[in-house]
């Protein structure tokens, strides 16, 4: 079971690192726009990301 958690963490880190590695300027601009969002908007982005991940997990299984 721990192997699956570590695999998931490793895959998340790979995906999270792709944009700053490939397109650092775009990543910097996107990050600065995210910092400027309000709390409600950030929560919406967060819940959308979580639901997308859950749907992807459901689709894979």
Supply angle C-alpha 33, 45, 49, rounded to 5: 125
- How does residue 2 score in pLDDT terms, banded at 50, 70 and 90? confident
Contact 27, 19 (CB under 8 A): yes
Structure tokens given for 4? 């699956």
Q: What is the pLDDT of residues 4-55, one digit of tens each?
A: 889 888 999 999 999 899 999 999 999 899 899 999 999 999 999 999 989 9
Domain boundaries, the chain: 2-60
Euclidean distance between CA atoms 36 and 47, whole angstroms: 18
Q: Is 27 exposed, middle or buried (0-12, 13-18, 19+ CB in 10 A)?
A: middle
> 3-13: per-residue pLDDT in tens?
888 988 899 99
Residue 19 · residue 26 · CB < 8 Å? yes
């Amino acid at each position: 079971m721990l192997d699956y958690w570590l695999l998931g963490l490793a895959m998340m880190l790979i995906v999270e690192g792709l944009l700053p590695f490939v397109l650092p300027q775009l990543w910097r601009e996107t990050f600065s726009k995210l910092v400027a969002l309000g709390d409600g908007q950030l929560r919406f982005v967060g819940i959308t990301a979580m639901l997308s991940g859950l749907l992807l997990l459901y689709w894979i299984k």
